[in-house]
Structure 1
Amino acid sequence: MKMHQFVIIGLGRFGSSIGKELIQLGYEVLGIDRNEETVQELSKVLTHAVVADATEEEALRSLGARNFDCGVVAIGDDIQASILATILLKELGVKKVVAKAVNELHGRVLERIGVDRVIYPERDMGIRVAHQLVSPNLLDYIELSKKYTIAELAVPGCLTGKSLADVNPRGKYGCSIVAINKPKGIIIAPNAEDVLTERDVMVVIGTNESIEQFQESIGS
């Protein structure tokens, strides 16, 4: 089901960043925060921004929170407020609820109360940066599960001019190049004859071990 309207509770750095990006993507966003100054600043950017206490059921009801496709609880260090706001969104019948967790215990509580997706922005960014520091060709990656990952790898000079058949990551390492992002556009499901250049970015899917082996081979 395609989402059209989002309500974001907590307009700190994390919540405001999500809201601004959703607006850029063409979606409607209602932002809720207790801080009047923050709300005033974001009222010029978001579809609507209001000062309200999202831990009060009547406040969320009066704002029509139940009519939104997705609720994002982006409250920072106030874990109690985060949990209460999340419970209220679920009880009001919001179709999908996503919540930020500040630690593993907070995340487990959110999962127990039925959150559709728990996000750990600080932890996940730390993991990403660590991987990028030790793997020069790694631009970004998404952990699909504990075993499988999608990674964006910059094409190094040693692969420039080689076709996917020459590189053969599937045969040699067990991972697959599912897309190539070239300066002129992206190639989805590239074929064996497609040639890599140094400015390309490979989108690779496979087990953590297979991608790590592939990274090591092109980084040496």
Structure 2
Amino acid sequence: MKEKRIFAVIGLGKFGFHVAKTLAERGMEVIAIDKDEDRVKEVSEFVTQTYILDATDEKALRESGIKAVDVAVVSVGENLEANLMIVMLLNELGIKEIVAKAINPLHGKMLEKLNVSRVIYPEMETAIRVANSLIAKEIIEEIYLTENYSIFEIKVPQFMVGKTLAELDLRKKYDINVLGVKRENSVIINPAGEFMLQDGDILIVLGNINNVMDLL
């Protein structure tokens, strides 16, 4: 059974709203925080608890009970000063895992110096996924992990049909790791080397986008 963790989402713009809603829909406890009453009201039907407060106010943030959360997501990206102040306050409150939205690489570097667990660039990551899918229509989905690595779902190219994973040896030839294969309504996780690919299969792989493009 998946461990039920408690999340706080601070800042309920488009990004924060969808993070909070998705976490809640997947069974997580979510505390949603924003100083805008309308934004809080919009997400209140999905999440566990809501607070209308300015998260740069240490007293208000502390009184919200945020110290009990496992992960805090700071999605106040547009206001640089507020974003950094909130992260500093969360560190002082002892939040072990902090995920923060950045508006540009310089902002991201500042967040990294504050020891956030993960820096997210929503606009950049979305742009990269769209551009990659336009270049290679075989790419169905891309989950951005780092600047160099993503998880991809790709339609099996014709040259792979009828061949086993051992024959293709994607790790050696392309530095791509096969995590699974989608076939009709099932998913085969970590398929063996003798697994033979069929037309219509979807590969789930971990790799660098340049290597994936070489494969396609």
What TM-score, normalized to structure 1? 0.87
**Residue matched to 2:19:** 18
Give the secondary structure class of the aligned counterpart of 1:198: coil
Question: How far apart, in 2, do the equivalents of 1:189 and 1:95 lie?
Answer: 31
Q: How does 1:1-220 map to 2 (within 5 A)?
A: 4-142=5-143, 148-170=149-171, 172-215=173-216
Question: How far apart, in 2, do the equivalents of 1:86 and 1:176 lie?
Answer: 35
Question: How far apart, in 1, do the equivalents of 2:176 and 2:42 lie?
Answer: 46
How much does 1:136 deviate? 1.4
Question: How far apart, in 2, do the equivalents of 1:4 and 1:194 lie?
Answer: 36
* Residue identity opposite 2:183 in structure 1: K
* Residue identity opposite 1:119 in structure 2: I
- The answer (yes or no) to whether the contact 1:54–1:85 under 8 Å persists in 2 is yes
Over the aligned positions, Cα root-mean-square deviation in angstroms equals 2.2
Aligned length: 214
* CA separation of 1:126 and 1:69: change in aligned 2, threshold 3 A: same
How much does 1:213 deviate? 2.1
Deviates further, 131-140 or 117-126: 131-140
Question: How far apart, in 2, do the equivalents of 1:74 and 1:174 lie?
Answer: 34
Question: How far apart, in 2, do the equivalents of 1:101 and 1:148 lie?
Answer: 19
* CA separation of 1:14 and 1:149: change in aligned 2, threshold 3 A: closer
Question: How far apart, in 2, do the equivalents of 1:54 and 1:174 lie?
Answer: 44
Question: How far apart, in 2, do the equivalents of 1:43 and 1:207 lie?
Answer: 39
Give the secondary structure class of the aligned counterpart of 2:30: strand
**Structure 1 unaligned runs (5+)?**
216-220
After superposition, what is the alpha-carbon deviation per residue over 1:89-141, rounded to whole angstroms, capped at 9, x for unaligned?
A: 11111111110001112111111122111110101111111111111112233
What TM-score, normalized to structure 2? 0.88
After superposition, what is the alpha-carbon deviation per residue over 1:15-64, rounded to whole angstroms, capped at 9, x for unaligned?
A: 11111111111110000011111111211111111210000000111101
**Structure 2 unaligned runs (5+)?**
none
| Percent identity (aligned) | 38
Question: How far apart, in 2, do the equivalents of 1:34 and 1:144 lie?
Answer: 30
Question: How far apart, in 2, do the equivalents of 1:177 and 1:86 lie?
Answer: 36
Give the secondary structure class of the aligned counterpart of 2:90: helix
- The answer (yes or no) to whether the contact 1:174–1:206 under 8 Å persists in 2 is yes
How much does 1:142 deviate? 4.6
Question: How far apart, in 1, do the equivalents of 2:102 and 2:95 lie?
Answer: 19
Question: How far apart, in 2, do the equivalents of 1:10 and 1:119 lie?
Answer: 14
How much does 1:209 deviate? 4.7
How much does 1:207 deviate? 4.9
Question: How far apart, in 1, do the equivalents of 2:141 and 2:212 lie?
Answer: 12
* CA separation of 1:31 and 1:130: change in aligned 2, threshold 3 A: same
Deviates further, 43-52 or 168-177: 168-177
